[in-house]
Amino acid sequence: MPDALSLDNIGELVTNDPDVPGELGIRNDVSLVVAEGRVVWIGPTAEAPPADARIDCDGAAVLPGFVDSHSHIVFAGDRSAEFAARMAGESYAAGGIRTTVAATRAADDGTLAANTQRLAAELARSGATTFEIKSGYGLTVEDERRSVAIARGITDEVTFLGAHVVPPDFTGDRNGYLDLVCGPMLDACKDSVRWIDVFCDRGAFDADESREVLRAGLRAGLTPRVHANQLQHGPGVSVAVEMGAASADHCTHLTAADVAALADSDTVATLLPGAEFSTRSAYPDARRLIDAGVTVALATDCNPGTSYTTSMSFCIALAVREMHMTVGEAVTAATVGGAAALRRDDVGRIVTGGQADLLLLDAPSYIHLAYRPGVDLISQVWARGVAVRSRP
Ligand code: NIG
Ligand code: FE
């Protein structure tokens, strides 16, 4: 086998392979061999084939890399004072986005790219081997174009979020801004992106405006995703389902009809507990969604306003403690759930012949991701077989 690496003595291998019985498709006491970016062999350590290099996992757990299907990491500036004010009693409003828009517009290309690459590296070190990046802090044709270009240099999963808020230069001319988003801005961005998103909520865009944006994206060959029902009950989830969105994200305030609509659709509910944590808001009711049969994803929502974390492990711990997900459900949502939200079936699983996106934990079980909150248990990370984090 060319340049094969064998991980030996894996105590607990989370495969998410539907052909392996039981939750998470767990296999115990195995070796896993990687070559040319793929998993080429899984079996008992005693039977492991020769390899060019071997790592003794000494009973530790190995998981599929996390799939973070929602991040906003192309931005400049700092909103720590806004966070501190919120913790002192102020409430979150969508208008805070404009602070980051001003700082992002003022940043030169090199600074904006370096900021984004730093956060992308942080995501990778935290175990996200696949992640999505949104634009949405430029909100001019040129600033959105450069945002998606920077993101596209890092990931294939790029989302155009020109419809994040109406920027101050268009106050009083919402229709003018929507025309810009659906026309020249979309034209400038569409070749770099796979997805179109809209913030359908209080202080951002209403149902008709959201439909207009998503329809323009569909005409340009993009697939919708929607920031839905984060701040209040509203039309976001029903618009997402109606437009065939890959996911409705946040889903914090849901009616019974919203839950039923999601359950009857292919739209994934992406929960972002970092946002509730950082805005000190009530968490979404994950149990209600899971019990209704909705596919749930967990993602970081990494952004400077409401969730400045790159840690999927932290989101898993929050999902378990605050949203009453079992640890297995949370790990599923952070791997195959995220993959479903990105309509991918080639990531989020560890299967022979599949992409080698792997996390080696400094712990014997995936359970420790929630059991040891705030502790960095990610010991090593491989993305497509390449080490993106190694033991120091
Ligand atoms: O997903 N909800 C809209 N966008 C971000 C927040 C953006 C900001 O406050 O800068 C979110 O939470
Ligand atoms: Fe978001």
Query: How much of the chain, in percent, has pLDDT values that exceed 90?
Result: 97
Spacing, Cα 72 to ligand 2 middle (Å): 6
Ligand 1 pocket, Cβ-based, cut-off 6 angstroms: 72, 96-97, 100, 199, 227, 230, 275, 301, 303-306
Spacing, Cα 131 to ligand 1 middle (Å): 17
Look-up of token digits 């920027």 = 167
- Closest residue CA from atom 12 of ligand 1: 306
pLDDT score of 65 more than 60: yes
- Of the listed ligands, the closest to the CA of 203 is 1
The domain at 5-65+348-389 falls in which architecture?
A: Roll (2.30)
The crossing angle, in degrees rounded to 10, of helices 141-152 and 109-125 is 40
Average pLDDT over residues 189-217: 98
Question: Taking the domains of the chain in order of start, what are their residue ranges?
Answer: 5-65+348-389, 67-341
Distance CA 333, CA 206 (A): 29
Pocket perturbation via mutation, ligand 1, pick of 68, 69, 72, 165 by most ligand atoms within 8 A of CB: 72
- Closest residue CA from atom 3 of ligand 1: 199
Spacing, Cα 245 to ligand 2 middle (Å): 15
Alpha-carbon Rg for the chain, nearest whole angstrom, is 21
Model confidence pLDDT, tens digit, residues 336-349? 999 999 999 999 99
- Classify 215 as helix, strand or coil: helix
Confidence of residue 1 (pLDDT cuts 50, 70, 90): low
Q: Which residues, 6+ apart, have CB-to-CB distance to 284 below 8 Å? A: 250, 251, 252, 253, 254, 271, 273, 276, 323
pTM: 0.98
Same fold, 5-65+348-389 and 67-341: no
Distance CA 271, CA 251 (A): 7
Pocket perturbation via mutation, ligand 1, pick of 69, 100, 306, 315 by most ligand atoms within 8 A of CB: 306
Ligand 1, closest atom to CA 100? 10
Model confidence pLDDT, tens digit, residues 166-190? 999 999 999 999 999 999 999 999 9
Model confidence pLDDT, tens digit, residues 347-376? 999 999 999 999 999 999 999 999 999 999
Look-up of token digits 């419809």 = 163
Fold of 67-341: TIM Barrel (3.20.20)
pLDDT at residue 57, as a whole number: 98
Structure tokens at 275: 């946002």
Spacing, Cα 315 to ligand 2 middle (Å): 14
Spacing, Cα 250 to ligand 1 middle (Å): 10
pLDDT at residue 2, as a whole number: 63
Q: Which residues, 6+ apart, have CB-to-CB distance to 136 below 8 Å? A: 72, 97, 144, 147, 161, 162, 164, 197, 199
Pocket perturbation via mutation, ligand 1, pick of 115, 166, 199 by most ligand atoms within 8 A of CB: 199
